[in-house]
Amino acid sequence: MEPVVRAVVGMVSGLPADAAPWAFAGPSARVPLVAAAWANPFFWASAVLAVACGLLAVGLLACRRRLARDAARRIAEAAPRAERNRDSQFLDMAGVILVAIDRDGTIALLNRRGHEILGYDNGELVGRNWFETCVPEEERDSVRAVFYNVFAGRLELAERHENSVLLRSGQRRWIAWHNALLRDDDGLPVWSLSSGEDVTERRHYERERESLVREFESQNAELERFTYMVSHDLKSPLITVKGYMGLLRQDIAGGNAEAAEDDLARMSSAADRMELLLGELLELSRIGRLVNPPRDIALSDLAREAVDLVAGQIGQRGVDVAIADDLPVVHGDRMRLLEVFQNLVDNAVKYMGDQPCPRIEIGVRRQAGPSCVYVRDNGIGIEPRYHERVFGLFDKLDARSEGAGVGLALVRRIVEVHQGRIWVESEGTGRGATFVLSLPEVEPAASQRKDVLS
């Protein structure tokens, strides 16, 4: 042990190792050694270096411990963060909206699919108010009231329901929701958790299906009426012909030539009546579809052409006709719509009665949505109870009038094929009648209006 000590003392004191014997002498002998070390600069440099090395070692040890603690903390924090990231990935993999809303209506969680459907970047809606951001304004108060009442315990949460949501673009989508409440340890609701599926297309198809079902039901009912009317109205001329055939035999057998001529005339009239009915039925059967390519049609020009087609009847009765220049432009089958106006004008002339100043006016009512075009006369009028009946097949209010009673039925079918409506307005007998029709309009560009085909 002593040689080691001597070497260390020699390093510190700068004295040769063999001077060590007196260095370990008694107290009086140590004084020269301490004094020599005290005065030696190398002693102090070595001492400072030793202290520095000790401090460095202590610092390195402390740094190592701190690094170990930080590593342990990061490992501890990484575990739940990795778990949260994994949970978030699972939510984002879902093909439906997943949203959690707190009791104040704030969005606490919304997955990637929810952001995509609503039109926002992922994470952009978290922290916003659901009702102010994603619920249409006219539904906002009622939806919010139901939500607050559920959290207050006054209403049960509907497990399933459908409503519309407002997209960033301002459009709307219909969502089918499945709902649940998340509660705290005291059983109080903290969040509502909902999964939502976009059912906009499904609802669209359902509405189309319902519309088609209603249309088929209406057509079936019309077909039943049609079958009854045809069997009734066609049977009448046949009965007439059959009856007069028996009378004709008797008249021929009795040599009554004049009576035989009358029988033949009545049989011919019944045959003509049957031919008219069959022709009208054939025409009606063709109205179920557009038979000419649709085009833009200026109704003012079309109305003038219809008036020209019945100019003979108009001239005979001395009817004054006024046509507005600002009738709308529609898109459809030009020949079919010409039939509509021709029938309406012809009817107005036919039922003018004894009016001393007969007049027909073709104009337009401007309003929100499609404008309404009307054909108004000051003729005999129609009692309100007959307003719907006049559009029936073979239904004539005046049995003595010309035609088979199919004209207005044809008009209604043509208008309906063009996705429009027609109705009659009249205060009663002697008050005139106004036939009003509404057809979808088109608005050609100003530069194209002069090129509209009429």
For 368-390, the pLDDT digits (tens) are 777 899 999 998 888 888 888 78
CA distance 408 to 395: 9
Q: Is 342 inside a domain boundary?
A: yes
- What value, to the nearest 5°, has the Cα angle with vertex 421 and ends 420 and 424? 150
230 in the same domain as 321: no
**Residue 98 · residue 89 · CB < 8 Å:** no
CATH for 280: 1.10.287.130
Query: What pLDDT score does 270 carry?
Result: 80
Q: Is 15 inside a domain boundary?
A: no
Looking at per-residue pLDDT, the higher value among 321 and 452 belongs to: 321
- The burial class, CB within 10 Å (0-12 / 13-18 / 19+), for 1 is exposed
> Taking each helix axis from N to C terminus, what angle separates 41-93 and 2-13, rounded to the nearest 10 degrees?
100
Whole-Å CA distances, 174 to 63, 118, 197, 206: 60, 11, 8, 13
Q: Side chain identity at 101, as an amino acid letter?
A: I
End-of-domain residue from the set 198, 226, 257: 198
369 in the same domain as 445: yes
Q: Is 29 inside a domain boundary?
A: no
Q: Is 421 inside a domain boundary?
A: yes
421 in the same domain as 337: yes
End-of-domain residue from the set 259, 286, 313: 286
**Residue 290 · residue 337 · CB < 8 Å:** no
> Range of 240's domain?
208-286
Q: Reply yes or no on whether the pLDDT at 83 is more than 70.
A: no
SS (H, E, C) 85-129: HHHHHHHHHCCCEEEEEECCCEEEEECHHHHHHHCCCCCCCCCCE
Q: Is 66 inside a domain boundary?
A: no
End-of-domain residue from the set 233, 252, 286: 286
> Taking each helix axis from N to C terminus, what angle separates 407-417 and 257-285, rounded to the nearest 10 degrees?
10
Per-residue pLDDT tens over the stretch 15-38: 454 544 444 444 554 445 545 555
299 in the same domain as 334: yes
Whole-Å CA distances, 368 to 9, 372, 418: 112, 10, 19
Q: Side chain identity at 250, as an amino acid letter?
A: Q
445 in the same domain as 297: yes
| Count of structural domains, the chain | 3
300 in the same domain as 443: yes
Query: What pLDDT score does 135 carry?
Result: 93
**Residue 88 · residue 112 · CB < 8 Å:** no
389 in the same domain as 297: yes
**Residue 406 · residue 280 · CB < 8 Å:** yes
- What value, to the nearest 5°, has the Cα angle with vertex 403 and ends 402 and 406? 145
Q: Reply yes or no on whether the pLDDT at 408 is more than 60.
A: yes
CATH for 435: 3.30.565.10
Which range among 117-121, 212-216, 229-233, 427-431 shows the weakest confidence by mean pLDDT?
229-233
Looking at per-residue pLDDT, the higher value among 410 and 208 belongs to: 208
Read off the pLDDT of each residue in 111-136 and give the average, rounded to a whole number.
Answer: 91
418 in the same domain as 327: yes
Q: Is 262 inside a domain boundary?
A: yes
Read off the pLDDT of each residue in 4-21 and give the average, rounded to a whole number.
Answer: 44
Convert 305-334 to b/e letters by CB count within 10 Å (16 or more is b): ebbeebeeebeeeebebebeeebbbbebbb
Query: What pLDDT score does 404 carry?
Result: 46
Per-residue pLDDT tens over the stretch 250-296: 888 888 888 888 888 888 888 887 777 677 666 666 655 545 778 89
303 in the same domain as 401: yes
**Residue 131 · residue 105 · CB < 8 Å:** yes
